[in-house]
Structure 1
Amino acid sequence: MKRIGAAALAAVVVMLGLLVSRADAATLFSDDFNDGNASGWSTSGGSWSVASGTYSQTGTSADAKSQAGNLAWTNTSMQARVRVNFFGSNASRAAGITARARSSADSYALALTPSSVELRRGSNVLSSASFGVATGTWYTLRLEVFGSTLRGFVNGTQVVTATDSNFAAGRIGFIAKYAAASFDDVLATDTAGPGPTSSPTASASASPSTSPSPQPPAGQADGFASGTTGGAGGPIVVATTAAQLEAYVGQAGPLIIMVQGTIAIDGMLTVVADKSIIGAGSTAHITGGGLQTGSTTRPGNNVIIRNIKFSNADDDSISVTNGAHHVWIDHNEFLPGYDGSVDVKRQSTNVTVSWNKFSGTDKSMLLGHSDDFTADIGYLKVSYHHNYFDGANQRLPRVRFGEPVHVYNNYYRNIGLYGVVSVQNAGVVVEGNYFENVAHPCYSVSGYADSGPGRLVQRNNIFSNSGVCEAGGNVAEPGSYYSYTLTPAASVPSVVSASAGVGKL
């Protein structure tokens, strides 16, 4: 989706306590590259292309730049996710975002180097801060240029600032200076700190409070969802009604949504990119419906869902679908609903499902849309760890096509039909789990139902009063994608039962 314009956007957000309202914000430009092209961007140097919903520059031997927008833009907040894939050997190597770009050489930039974050004017460093940049990790960068004040943010935290008046106006863009890097989820606005693009219908009925507003808990995604930042950098809003929740999850731009109390909804609410949806305290509850990441036209990438109880969903409780990537589902509790508790499908990938409790659920976790949906091949990279399956029935998970899928340190207790299934040539590593009273911990090489066989490696698991885990074939190692530390399998029941679910962050 690309939007260039100056339509005024009312952004009055009712918050509690320390929250600040913003009004008359305009979105200047946005792009998530899910249309498969970089229309509207012009490049200088390097090798630029769009693949799998990200914009990348693959060379390390050039001072590469790409720009978009209008030379007349003055006050601009430019935000994007940036991942350095490889630093070249040139001493000035860096990757980042730009604003007030007048030419390929003249712009302000917020740049990641191997050991620092720098605020630059052209090749001159105006301000810097020590920062260990990990290659292969996504960072959300925001560069604000308002008057002569320049501010740089990483993952929502201001790290550098400077005063400079050399460049008064210009475009936004990316730099990959002797570095290979990827870029995604661009949002440029004319107000400091990108925020909601419209006022939720229900917010007019809310009233300010003098009590402190709920704050998001600490923690960061691991496993395949590493680098997911959700709504970091955006404002915090509080949802207490279905209308508020629906409006907030569907707004463009980063937003941290604190769910307070019980909210009854109908159907699936579409969650668009850059959202953190977090339960306040230990009583946040969504019932009657569920959350779906994006649609075919509005992607739901970079989403965090934490600390919420889900019950009685009329479809799925959470559906990660429509090509969503970088989604972290953590410390929630799932009670029975009509269909799945957490389903991941339709070319979605880079997902972590961690520290959740599944109480008596049936079709708990489907991975892969169907046996016929071969478009899922090459996607569906998911980590499932430290989840508590208490009296759940099946699909814990049921995997088609994905590889590697990493199922580790989960506690399976009193399971009805089966635990893990790998079919349709999926590759699953089942590691360090504790199976208690599970007649069929795993199916793989024999297939399951009408699905063909898959591959499954099992190691370091404990089977207490349980059957045999059917395993066979070779699977790509999850450790080649990310680092992790196993909890000893014997400790999994006590560790997971004590810490999984809501109110235990």
Structure 2
Amino acid sequence: MGGSPTFRRRLRTSALAVGSAVVVTVASIGFTNLANAATVFDANFDNGSTSGWSKSGGTWSVVSDGSSVLRQTNAGSENARQFAGDTGWTNYTVQARVKPISFGSGGHVGLLARASGSTKFYRLALVPGNQVQLQSVSGSSVTVLGSTTQSVATGSWYTLAIEVSGSTIRGRVNGTQFASASNSDISAGRIGLQTVYASASFDDVSVNTGGGTNPTPTTPGPNPTTPPPTTPPPTTPPPTNPPPGAWPSPTGQVKVDDTIQVPSSGLDGGLKRYYGIGDGGQGESQDPMFVLAPGATLRNVILGAPAGDGVHCEGNCTLINVWWEDVGEDAATFRGGSTYLVDGGGARSASDKVFQHNGGGTLTIRNFQVENAGKLYRACGNCSTSYQRHVVMQNITARSTKALAGINTNWGDTARFSNITVYGSTVICEKYRGVPKGSEPTKIGEGADGVNCIYNESDITRR
């Protein structure tokens, strides 16, 4: 999100240029611990651009409404979002002006904080029926942390603010605090704007620091006047076996409009975040972010949201230190070839699966972490060609994941596991009966058998 932000007086800020620097003084926005606050992010859309924002669903554009605003017009969209900022941001206050335009059945409009995935965040929601709610959202699970009776009318502007400081979550509407709760569901994440079966306008989005570990503008703000940083790739590759939870911070941003073709010589992304393909959902037939030629290696890349259908391997391929912040359709699909390697990295928020194995051969996944996923691996059970497929998992850490592997035993698939750590009730290996294209495979069992699902309990650490 490169470039210098734009500030307006009606945001109650003033700027003084000193050489090439900009000194910003921010007036209090109502939280007592923000007396020494600093603005690290500001967007008012005056230049007509949404550069630096990641769209996930809906129909968004910059329009005129007294001033330039960002508007979502598809009231039939189940979940329309725009994300900005850095996944490593922890303690901050995000504020925005929000104007509902229309509400459908079950609709609402919201401001998001600590968005660690496309469906996991804190939300301050304007709800029809004259209510404002502060919520903790994780997928379809919504916990109301506080609420207030407030006239919510279409065509009216509301100033919403969420303060996140450690486990303390506070909400304000039009400058008045109505909720303060203790909640530890989400420790860090980006900011966001959201409509659910509604249309709305958004303006004057800002992020201010205030106490604790503050966000730092490591990711440049929106409305760029200069291109994103071009930090060269590190001369020493990052470790491929980081400790659990050691997710990297991006060194920069790359907005992607068309699929990137990676030649056999490979691509080193220098740990930049690539985003912008697809709508962030699970819809089939989204374009991939990267297509790897046979023999290619993709390394040191962070896939942000949206990332479409992730990575496609057209032949043998290697993925080293590749991270998926928010899996959309799939993280990676192995389509051709016979030998594939995923070494290091991690994936979050895959409601279905992370890795899809459509071709034949063996996929090795090692030194990898997965969080909040359906399956880490699935051997295709109804592709047009029925191959025998194999997966080897070594040094895997899984949290909030339903299963590690799904294989088709009637085709001779195998899954081998060693040094596996799972948190919760993760199934290690699920067995299916593969079927022709057009039918749905049937689950026929799970667990070690020494033939298809190969592991001992000593290979698994459960926590």
Q: Which has the higher strand share?
A: 2
TM-score where L is the length of structure 2: 0.42
Structure of higher RCO (CA pairs closer than 8 Å, 6+ residues apart): 2
